[in-house]
Amino acid sequence: MPKTNFVNGNPAQGIQGTVVTAEFLNAVNNHRHRGLNEDGDGAIDYAPDTGVANAYVIALSPALTAHVVGMPIYFKAANANTGASTIVIDALAAVPIKKNGNQALTAGDIKAGKIVTVVYDGTCYQIDSAISIPKGHKSKLVVKNNATTPASNVDISSDSISLTDSVEHTIELRNVNITVNIAISGAGGLDTGAEAASTLYYIWLIYNPTTSTVSGVFSTSSTSPTMPSGYTYKRLVGEIYNGGDSNFTVYYRYNDTVSINLNIGTVYGNASLTTVWTAYSLPGSIPGGTSKLFLKAYSNAGTTPCRQMVSPDSDGAHYIVFTMPASNGSDGVGGYNETVEGVLLHKGGISIYAKSYDGATVANQSLWVVGYELER
């Protein structure tokens, strides 16, 4: 798009045509947009932003008279965005800036001083430059009981988390901070049906791309929650046990590690362990697909020390040993010995196996799950 206007010659009118030289053709062959004024150097569609956060304004030279589908435009942002944003180019009306096709921007998608590339798609300008998390940053996901209404509400927060739709399109959400209430139906509550006691509910983060709304649902499904109308993106972010009294148990998830209330974590209580590997079912509050179980063992075997063996396998090929000291009668745990903690590599399944290590039946042994790590 050179600055010189080319003309055809017309000898009858004494008009000399443009002379195309070898130097000119070489310049065209090696043409690069530099935004300079010499012949052969075309205009570059870049300008610094002169607007405010969320309302970006640029002036191109020459001015754009209409939005062109597929045309990339570059600008240097003067301010970081704090939410949905628009751009005004020359005298044209403001147009929304979107990401991932049709998603409104969220806080931090545009950084102050960053060169941003946008491309018009006929409706909006899609942001084409990378939206990235700073190098070395690890995203955080926290799911926990709500402080005010812990029996029915769960809080979900994350600085950056990705969700997918049914055809594996991905959207990145920033600065998520929502509460989900099982006492209501649909978005922000229970996906379908009525609340049930003694039930493990899965917690899903969901997103409506049309309204740019972030929400969540509880569901008994770990794979396919019933999605509210308009919500097409989802991600499983946790699970929580609704007890026999229809109150949530204590739950805290940080990324892939979960701590739970001891009251719903009993594997076996006051059991008599023999020398044979015996299966014990995990509590219904423990989801399948866990890779580690965090355990506490108790003993009420009196003044004799004893040892419990716990394995994820029926043949005991891999196990951990809890060595229980003799009771001193003053531990303040109702006559039980002090607790002993351990970590069992588990990798799914609904049972674990236990037996006595010492070649004899040992009465009054207890084991609790106090947390678990989810499979990555």
| CA separation, residue 311 to residues 23, 321, 372 (Å) | 81, 9, 15
Q: Are residues 145 and 251 in the same domain?
A: yes
15 domain residue, yes or no: no
Question: How do residues 73-116 score in pLDDT, each as one tens digit?
Answer: 999 999 999 889 999 999 999 999 998 777 788 888 898 999 99
pLDDT tier for residue 25 given thresholds of 50, 70 and 90: confident
Say whether both 300 and 369 belong to one domain: yes
Indicate whether 347 and 276 sit together in one domain: yes
Length of the chain: 376
Same domain assignment for residues 280 and 337:
yes
Does residue 288 sit within a domain? yes
- Percent of the chain's residues with pLDDT above 90: 48
Q: Do 225 and 188 share a structural domain?
A: yes
3-state secondary structure 154-180: EEEEEEEEEEECCCCCEEEEEEEEEEE
- Residues 169, 101 share a domain: no
Domain for residue 76, yes or no?
Answer: yes
**For residue 18, is it within any domain?**
no
Instruction: Please tell me whether residues 86 and 186 are part of one structural domain.
Output: no
Task: Express each pLDDT in 128-186 by its tens digit.
Answer: 765 555 555 568 999 999 999 999 999 999 988 999 999 888 888 888 999 999 999 99
Range of the domain at 224: 141-255
Residues 74 and 159 occupy one common structural domain:
no
Together in a domain, 291 and 247 = no
Indicate whether 251 and 269 sit together in one domain. no
Decide which of 60, 93, 127 is a domain's last residue. Answer: 127
Assigned domain for 216 exists: yes
Contact 212/84 with Cβ under 8 angstroms?
yes
Q: Which of 220, 235, 255 is the last residue of a domain?
A: 255
Start-end of H helices in 6-139: 22-29
The domain total for the chain is 3
pLDDT in the model for residue 1: 43
Q: Which of 232, 255, 278 is the last residue of a domain?
A: 255
Average pLDDT over every residue of 114-126: 93
Are residue 178 and residue 195 in the same domain, yes or no?
yes
Asked if the structure places residue 29 within a domain, the reply is no
Question: For the segment 276-291, what is each residue's pLDDT rounded down to a tens digit?
Answer: 999 999 888 888 778 8
Paired strand residues for 93: none
Verdict on whether the full-model pTM lies above 0.85: no
Of the pLDDT bands very low, low, confident and very high (cuts 50, 70, 90), residue 333 is very low
DSSP state of 10: B
Q: How many CA atoms lie within 13 Å of 288's alpha carbon, on the beta-carbon side?
A: 5
Residue 248, domain member (yes or no): yes
User: Is residue 132 in a domain?
Assistant: no
Q: Which residues are CB-contacts of 167 (< 8 A; sequence separation ≥ 6)?
A: none
The CATH number of whichever domain residue 326 belongs to comes to 2.60.120
Residues 90 and 58: their CA atoms lie apart, in Å, by 6
- Same domain for 266 and 369? yes
pLDDT number for residue 8: 82
